[in-house]
Amino acid sequence: MAQSFNLVTCGCGHSFGSSKSLNNYCTKCGSSSDIKKLELFEDAEKLSYAVSVANIPDEISDELISKIKKKDSKSKFKSMPNTQNKIQLMKLATDENGELTNASLDKILLDEGKLDLTSDHLIGQAEMQGLLFRVNEKTWNWLS
C-alpha cells in the first residue's frame, strides 16, 4: 500500500505533516477534534517543505515579513543579473564539501526572502545547464 503524505491543520492554527489518514492529533496543542486535511503530497520531502511554509503565516508572519523587507533592501544579491544571482544563492547553500541539498538551499532562499523561488526549480535549472550533477536523492555537486 502506498504511503500518503498529508498536510493537515489544527483549529489552533498549527499545521503539520501526517502520513496517516485517521487518528491525527495536533503536534502543538494535542487536540484531535479539529484536524483538517489540507493537501496530499507524493513524497515526504515535499510535505516537509509545505509544512514549514504553512506555519510561517500563523506564527511569525509579521516578524518574518519585516525581516524579509529589511534584508531585501540591503541584499547583496540585488544588483546582480538574475542568473548570476541564482547561482550565487546556490553557491551560498553549498557546504564545505561542495555538496548542495534541497534543505540547505531552501534555508538560504528563506533567509534571503526569495519566497518566489523553490530549491527544486533552481536545482533543476542548474542541472539542465550542466552546472550541477546529482549525487543522491537529495544532494548535488558542482561540475564547475
Binding site for Zn ion (CB under 5 A): 10, 12, 14, 26, 28-29, 31
In the complex, what is the shortest distance from the CB of residue 13 to Zn ion, in angstroms, rounded to a whole number?
7
Location of C-alpha cell 548570476: 84
Location of C-alpha cell 543522491: 136
In the complex, what is the shortest distance from the CB of residue 115 to Zn ion, in angstroms, rounded to a whole number?
25
User: Of 35 and 50, which has the nearer Cβ to Zn ion?
Assistant: 35
Cβ–Cβ under 8 Å, residues 85 and 75: no
Q: How far is CA 127 from the centre of its chain?
A: 19
In the complex, what is the shortest distance from the CB of residue 56 to Zn ion, in angstroms, rounded to a whole number?
16
Specify the 3-state DSSP secondary structure of 47: helix
Specify the 3-state DSSP secondary structure of 100: strand
User: Of 36 and 76, which has the nearer Cβ to Zn ion?
Assistant: 36
User: Of 51 and 105, which has the nearer Cβ to Zn ion?
Assistant: 51
In the complex, what is the shortest distance from the CB of residue 18 to Zn ion, in angstroms, rounded to a whole number?
13
User: Of 12 and 135, which has the nearer Cβ to Zn ion?
Assistant: 12
Cα–Cα distance for residue pair 99/84, rounded to 1 Å: 19
Cβ–Cβ under 8 Å, residues 26 and 16: yes
